[in-house]
Chain A
Amino acid sequence: MATETSAAETADETADESGRAGLRANAKWYVLSYPLVWLVAVFLVPLGMLVVFSFWVNIPGGQYQAGFTLDNYVRFLTTSLYLNQLWLTIELALVTSVLTLVLGYPLAYYLARLNRPWLRSTLLITIISSLWVTYVIRAYAWQVILASNGIVSSVGVAIGLLESPTSFYPGYWGLIVGMVYVFLPFMILTLYSSLRNLDGELLEASKNLGAGPLRTFRRVTLPLTRNGIASGTALVFILALGAYVLPRLLGSGSERTLPVLIEQQIMSESNYPFGAAMSIGLIVVVLAFLWVLLRVTDVTTGDLGGVDAADDDGTDAPRNAAGVFGRLWGAVGGVSSAVGLTSAVGRVGAGVEDAIETVDSNTREAVIGASLKAYVAAVMLYIAGPLAIIVAVSVTPSEFLTFPPGGFSLRWYVTFFTDPEWVGALFNSLGIAVAAALLATSIGGILAFALDRFDYRFGSVLGTFGVLPILVPPVIIGVAFLVFFLRIGFAGNRLSIIVAHGIFYAPFPFILVMQGLGELDRTYEEAAMNLGASPIRTIRTITYPLLRANVVSGALFAFILSLNEYIIAWLLSLFLVDTIPIHIFNQLRYSYPPTIAAASTVFIGLTVVAMTSIDRLSGGIWE
């Protein structure tokens, strides 16, 4: 580190001489060192250790010793159980991403073209809020719905489709329903930002030239949102690959995905080297997927055209004007794996168009409009319904979890707020989230500031650092940090979770501050300096006030994510630290007291408040 720094320093000093006046050339290395220490020493080192560990020798009984063996990999790649589960993990991720795309596109389209701002922001806030609620609560909601005494079963019995109450989980399709539910908001928001960027005049031009709505969609909208489709699919695929909570809570024994197996090796078998090897295997799958996507992009660069091709550049992605997700997953590569899918959809569209060409255009538009609205309502119900059910369950008076509730009672809230275990978990969660948010904001914010203000020789590489943590599946982050912290005797406490969360969620403040700096008009700062303000005074009175919304939003993001995070906290807790997601998860293993619903409702409330304030603060960040 040090040598690299000083070498680059001398080389850059001359170049910087003529650079932005008022900022010293040396300052740039001091500013950069803070985020780099965290991201290199405390993030890359654990990941590196994981690689090393995967070659070490396991001694049954929770011990391991340094050495070099390929046994772990051989075991992973030759045991049909693991290979089957690896394939299942990939298959689940593929099915999930395709289904979310099909469900999400019409909704995103409707939102992007919606002309009533209040309705749009209400729908967006609903989608966004559900997005951030912990997987544990959302999986729990589907347990309530799919259980043998749940809604699906009782409705089925009532209308005679089912002969007796049936449980739809655990099992493959129950898991798919839950996965799609959980990842659909990510897809919608990515597509939404892509569709919002689409110039409405292009659609009008197309219609003016005589193209009907379907032709306009097929020839203009679809091709121009191809990158959004690719980014959304890639995002959901990678998230689904790393999913741990859903397969655990909604899948049966045969749906144990790779993250579940990894956690098992670590927490139950204490076989660290083998857990590490499987983690590397999962990372390889993610990297291979990204590589394939990028290859496909190269092949079809011509198809992409210039319109949203700017999203392709990984490091510049955070500066783009697209939504947060567009930018984040622009970093994955604005990929056109969806090209094949796009043309398939296009062909279907063409067929439908031919079929209805005979109907007069007003009827056609009316039918399309009405069916789109019905579809949107159905998907919104799918997104919002489960959490509404949780809220309803939380006010049920009876001892057992029932739906619909037989009356109204706040007794489970009373239980929640008076049970020392729940209150303790709540305070742990809040404390960890606040500290992690501050850490994440300091890392991400300072890195963004440094990259914006100074020219670094490896600026684009450093920019990738800013978004790197979020690309690694959380279960692997958890395992890596666990291995690292165990080495230095620092696991099983709140601080270790704070550090892991602080680094893992630094990309959010990073991207938001980067965006704020990108949009910040530099002449404000020049005007301040021209009026005699020193650089420090300029940052204090001009730069920071103008960036405050972005900084605070970034911190709130990190806060809410840390608050809701389960797997990293669980791995690092070593059974010693209890947070709300951990507590709910553990309770779900044995019983379903409605206190869980009350706890969930409190959490959902916190999340909605935080997300609404981010939206207010930033004047519609989701636009």
Chain B
Amino acid sequence: MSGITLEGVSKRYDGGVLAVDDIDLEIGSGEFVTLVGPSGCGKTTTLRTIAGFEKPTAGTVRIADDDVTDAPPYERNTGMVFQDFALFPHMTVRENIAYGMEADGGYTTEEIDARVAEMLELVELPDTADRYPDQLSGGQQQRIALARALAPQPDALLLDEPLASLDKKLREQMQVELRRIQQEIGITTVFVTHNQEEALTMSDRLAVMNEGRFEQVGPPEDVYGEPDSRFVADFLGTANIFDGSVTALGDGLATVDSDGAAISSRSGAETAVGDEVAVVIRPERFRFVSGTPDGGRTEVTENVFEGEITFTRHLGSSVEFRLETAAGRELVVVHRSGLEGYEPGDEVTVSVDADDCRLVSQ
């Protein structure tokens, strides 16, 4: 099996900065795990520790069940794609891809040629072998960097924000492509990004990092839908967050008082009355309460907010509204497209089910 295991890994830099703080992570063979977090959260340091560019101050790193904690980078079998690709500018595409196999020494010339051709086929750039990196577009360079990393058949693929330098459209294309290739060869992959959308769309599991620690690790839909902390809720996607304290409990529901507004939410197992908590509501969980001026509205009693639309924004498949309630609170509400007719200045009413609210600690 060629998984990756981190046990109690910490990294303290010479200046005393604790970049990674005692993390544990087990990555299964063939799994695609994304480390996501704001800049400075330690995700890149974690990746570089796996690659061997940083030596952990404490803990153990295992790749394919071998303890590689003290091994230099060139004695670990990982393939890395760097943020700016780091294609050797003085070598052709062929020489770049062959580099790792030549350094390995265990390949014949014929094997290297065959493997280079195979890799170029895999990334769908068969005719670029004799070009130099500066003759390739950004997207092509990205694919060649991937081919180079995969050519020496590494145990793990490490991706350090490889899509960050591409424009939006190309980035989305490469997200799909990267995932296709990864699944095709079934390689264990660690992907580092600060882009939460990439993290949500590409990974089997994602690990949200903050201040050197994992805030939450799990499948994307879980982490997004059931954030464990205010930080995760805030970092992944957009969230309406209401800070307040629990005033009543019952029936699996908690009532939270937030600046005078009573919000009903699913409660956690250990929630107690008086806890300082935050209620997280995803924007797409809100419903517009369809109503007519004569008062014929649907029966909604809980979690109703009235406010004025201050701003609308079309996101393509959906529309985002910003609402300001009478209490001065701003709400973000997302609705699928097709709900025309609401404009800034309109007074509207929205509501959310208690089941769609999540309690996290403040």
Chain A interface (Cβ < 8 Å from any Cβ of B): 15, 17-19, 21-22, 521, 523-524, 526-535, 537-538, 541-542, 545-546
A258 to B104, CA, bound (A): 63
With contacts A532-B100, A534-B103 known, what are 13 further pairs, Cβ within 8 A?
A18-B13, A18-B54, A523-B86, A526-B53, A529-B73, A530-B74, A530-B78, A531-B148, A532-B77, A532-B103, A533-B100, A538-B74, A541-B99
Verify B90–A521 contact, CB threshold 8 A: no
Chain A residues, CB < 8 A from B55? 17-18, 21
Verify B84–A523 contact, CB threshold 8 A: yes
Verify A531–B152 contact, CB threshold 8 A: yes
Chain B residues, CB < 8 A from A541? 99
A153 to B158, CA, bound (A): 76
Verify B89–A22 contact, CB threshold 8 A: no
A18 to B20, CA, bound (A): 14
A317 to B33, CA, bound (A): 43
A537 to B104, CA, bound (A): 11
Verify A21–B52 contact, CB threshold 8 A: yes
A534 to B74, CA, bound (A): 6
Verify B86–A526 contact, CB threshold 8 A: yes
Chain B interface (Cβ < 8 Å from any Cβ of A): 12-14, 51-55, 57, 72-75, 77-80, 82-84, 86, 88-90, 99-100, 103-104, 148-149, 152, 158
Picked from A15, A18, A526, A534, the residue with its CB within 8 Å of the CB of B82 is A526
Picked from A22, A521, A542, the residue with its CB within 8 Å of the CB of B73 is A22
Verify B74–A22 contact, CB threshold 8 A: yes
Verify A527–B72 contact, CB threshold 8 A: no
A448 to B245, CA, bound (A): 61
Verify B54–A527 contact, CB threshold 8 A: no
Chain B residues, CB < 8 A from A538? 74
- Min CB gap A519→B, angstroms: 12
Verify B104–A532 contact, CB threshold 8 A: yes
Verify B152–A527 contact, CB threshold 8 A: no
A19 to B80, CA, bound (A): 20
A576 to B73, CA, bound (A): 56
A237 to B187, CA, bound (A): 65
A537 to B53, CA, bound (A): 17
Identify 18 residue pairs between A and B in the complex whose beta-carbon atoms are under 8 Å apart, listed by A's number: A15-B14, A18-B12, A21-B54, A22-B73, A526-B86, A527-B82, A527-B88, A527-B148, A529-B72, A529-B74, A530-B74, A530-B79, A531-B79, A531-B103, A532-B74, A533-B74, A533-B103, A541-B99
- Min CB gap A28→B, angstroms: 15
Verify A537–B82 contact, CB threshold 8 A: no
- Min CB gap B102→A, angstroms: 9
Picked from B78, B80, B86, B103, the residue with its CB within 8 Å of the CB of A537 is B103
Verify A546–B90 contact, CB threshold 8 A: yes
A542 to B55, CA, bound (A): 23
A524 to B80, CA, bound (A): 11
Q: With A18-B14, A21-B54, A21-B55 in contact, is A528–B103 under 8 Å at CB? A: yes
Verify B99–A533 contact, CB threshold 8 A: yes
- Across the A-B interface, the 7 shortest Cβ-Cβ residue pairs: A531-B100, A523-B86, A532-B103, A527-B86, A529-B73, A533-B103, A530-B80
Chain A residues, CB < 8 A from B52? 21, 529-530
- Min CB gap A537→B, angstroms: 6
Residue among A21, A521, A538 with the highest chain B CB neighbour number at 10 A: A21
A535 to B52, CA, bound (A): 13
- Min CB gap A406→B, angstroms: 54
A524 to B104, CA, bound (A): 17
Chain A residues, CB < 8 A from B74? 22, 529-535, 538
A239 to B360, CA, bound (A): 71
Chain B residues, CB < 8 A from A545? 90
Picked from B13, B57, B88, the residue with its CB within 8 Å of the CB of A524 is B88
Verify B82–A523 contact, CB threshold 8 A: yes
- Min CB gap B210→A, angstroms: 23
Verify B73–A530 contact, CB threshold 8 A: yes
Chain B residues, CB < 8 A from A22? 72-74
- Residue of B at shortest CB range from A526? B53
Chain B residues, CB < 8 A from A531? 74, 79, 99-100, 103, 148-149, 152
A541 to B14, CA, bound (A): 30
